[in-house]
Amino acid sequence: MFSGSQNEINPSSAVAIMVSLLVAIDKTSAPSNATPLCFSINSPPFRHNHTIASAYFSAVFSGLGLSSNLFALVVLAKTFHHTKSRSRSSFLLFLGGLVFTDFMGLLVTGSIVVSFHITHFNWRQLDPHCHFCNFMGMSMVFYGLCPLLLGAAMAVERFIGINRPFARSTAMSNSRACSTVAMVWVTAGCISLLPLARLGSYHLQIPGSWCFLNISSRPLDMIFGLIFSLVGLLSLAVSFLLNTVSIVTLLRVCCGQGSAQRRRDYEVEMMVQLILIMTIASVCWCPLLVFIAQTVLSGSELDVRHLLLWLRFATGNQVLDPWVYILFRRAILKRMAPKMDWSRGSIVSLYPTISTSFRKLTRASLGGTIERLDHIRLNPDKARQEDMPLPVLDANVASSSI
């Protein structure tokens, strides 16, 4: 979709690798007369009928999410091809990777859940060796961690771009952005494959339409559940910390005085989108991640109703992510508020009374970073000279001068 994406690893390729690995361990599976591991706790058929897990909810969420992500991908592709800014193009690559991952996650998991509600297939007859259940469990973990890890990677990219602009201009290219997205996919894929090494396990979950990691206090299951929860929570914490520092720095620069102020309207737009992505991910995923951690640590019985409720919250993240970019673009905001000045410092100009407060706050909290940005803003030519390496004198000239 985007240029410069040769280094990317397509999630569909990762899915194929997962399936081949599942088939490779067929020799180690349990005897045919024994209960397969994935059905050892919950075995079909089920008589539970939770409204939150009904066919209606699954079909609506999957349809809305797939159409939204597909539309966002088209808009992102058009914007990317018309973008000349390097910082914005790399941010769009990250955003494109996020939207594409959400699309694939809904396509893979949603098709399985909707198919179950339509056909009411029997898991034990369809999947006697748990390959299909393990595949869905890995997909749930993989496509669950990817958006959180990508959000943290985007926060790091924006932090470097705003606080270390010269370092970012040489360090972050489009190919490196694609490599970072690929590394996130590989990391999430490795975590999802841990149950194949007997660290944790995937089990069929009530009401029988999906498989997920076994949420229990058994040692190996507890370790895997904590890994899943802590990786997700740590990603959200990193995003919150770095985005907070970036926002404070950006507001300080936007509130700066003088006619030589840099144009940072696109950076404000990107930060608004990133803050919204982080907020949506926190609201959608924190309840499920905390619920899993609390359940495995306390050793209490799994509350199926709350599990289904928090899972639906997490699914909402894949539906809402694309609308952040669809709705919160400068082109859309200009149409919604045509009388507003969107040329520079547009968002901050709405609240002129906060300029002094943020100037004092950011100077006290960020110190050297703000001083450096002010120096660059007021003396751009001198700043470039200071960043140039010192000249190396010729040996003959040096000896003659001595």
Query: Tens digit of pLDDT for each residue in 178-206?
Result: 999 999 999 999 999 999 998 999 998 88
Dump the DSSP string for 216-244: SSSHHHHHHHHHHHHHHHHHHHHHHHHHH
CB neighbours of residue 128 within 10 Å: 14
Q: Residue 54: what pLDDT?
A: 67
Q: Using pLDDT thresholds of 50, 70 and 90, give the confidence band for residue 341.
A: low
Q: Residue 163 has what pLDDT?
A: 77
Residues, the chain, total? 402
Position with higher pLDDT, 325 vs 363:
325
Please tell me which residue, 203 or 371, carries the higher pLDDT value.
203
**Cα–Cα dist 401/362, whole Å:** 48
Residue at 360 is within a domain: no
- With b for 16 or more beta-carbon neighbours within 10 A and e for fewer, the 237-253 pattern comes to ebbbebbebbbbbbbbb
1 in any annotated domain: no
Q: How confident is the model at residue 175 (pLDDT cuts 50, 70, 90)?
A: confident
On whether the CB atoms of residues 52 and 312 are closer than 8 A, the answer is: yes
pLDDT in the model for residue 300: 84
Across 284-381, the runs of DSSP E, i.e. the strands, are none
Mean pLDDT value across the chain: 75
Report the pLDDT averaged over residues 102-122. Answer: 89
- Is 176 a domain residue? yes
| Distance in angstroms (rounded) separating the CA atoms of residues 4 and 178 | 7
Within-domain flag for 283: yes
Residue 365 within any structural domain of the chain? no
| CATH assignment at residue 305 | 1.20.1070.10
198, part of any domain: yes
Helices 265-298 and 219-254, axial angle in degrees (round to 10): 160
Lowest-confidence segment of 17-26, 176-185, 284-293 by average pLDDT: 17-26
205 backbone dihedrals φ, ψ, rounded to 5°: -110, 150
The pLDDT, as a whole number, for residue 338 is 61
> Model-level pTM?
0.73
Reference 69, options 38, 98, 40, 47; nearest CA is: 98
User: Which tokens hold the place of 53?
Assistant: 């897990």
Confidence check: pLDDT of 371 > 70: no
What is the residue type of 145? L
Q: What domain count does the chain have?
A: 1
Does 380 fall in a domain? no
Please check whether residue 271 lies inside any domain of the structure. yes
- Over residues 46-73, the pLDDT tens digits come to 665 555 556 777 888 888 999 999 999 9
Return the percentage of the chain with pLDDT > 70, whole number: 64
Which among 338, 364, 124 has a CA at the least distance from the CA of 249? 364
pLDDT at 261 over 90: no
Domain that holds residue 243: 52-338
